[in-house]
Amino acid sequence: MAGKTIFKRIIDREIPATIIYEDDLCLAFKDVNPQAPTHVLVIPKKEIPSLADSTEADEAVLGRLLSVARKVAVDLGLTNGYRTVINCGRDGGQSVDHLHVHLLGGRALAWPPG
């Protein structure tokens, strides 16, 4: 169907992804172009284009995204720490218009980002 984002197509199982977690609100899968030894994306099943498009009505799902990121970090053994990132909009470097949390770990990460 035209207009679906690539992440919606992953939710609908129209294209493959390495899915590592799923619940009623969220899905987590490996980033296809990893920027760290562990690079997972946690996304809402609801089609929210970006953090800027979310509303107070989305507080439960926004909280779940971080809770899932924490669980996945534990499951993947990121005991030295990790980073969660939400790119938002053009200046934020967002390239897929479906809200997602990046979970990066497995190496020391530089700060600040570019």
Q: Within 10 A of 25 (CB to CB), how many other CB atoms are there? A: 18
> Segment 34-73, which members bind ligand AMP (CB under 6 A)?
41
Single out the residue of 20, 66, 96, 109 in contact with ligand AMP (rule: CB under 6 A).
96
CA 13, 17, 19, 25 torsion: positive or negative?
A: negative
The CB-of-104 to ligand AMP minimum distance in angstroms stands at: 10
Cα separation, 74 vs 82, whole angstroms: 10
Cα separation, 4 vs 39, whole angstroms: 23
Choices 27-35, 63-71, 74-82, 104-112; region in contact with ligand AMP by CB under 6 A: 27-35
Where helices occur in 38-102 by DSSP H, the ranges are 59-75, 89-92
| Residue 95 binding ligand AMP, by CB under 6 A | yes
Active site (annotated) includes residue 39: no
Interface ranges with ligand AMP (CB under 6 A): 6, 17, 31-33, 41, 87, 93-96
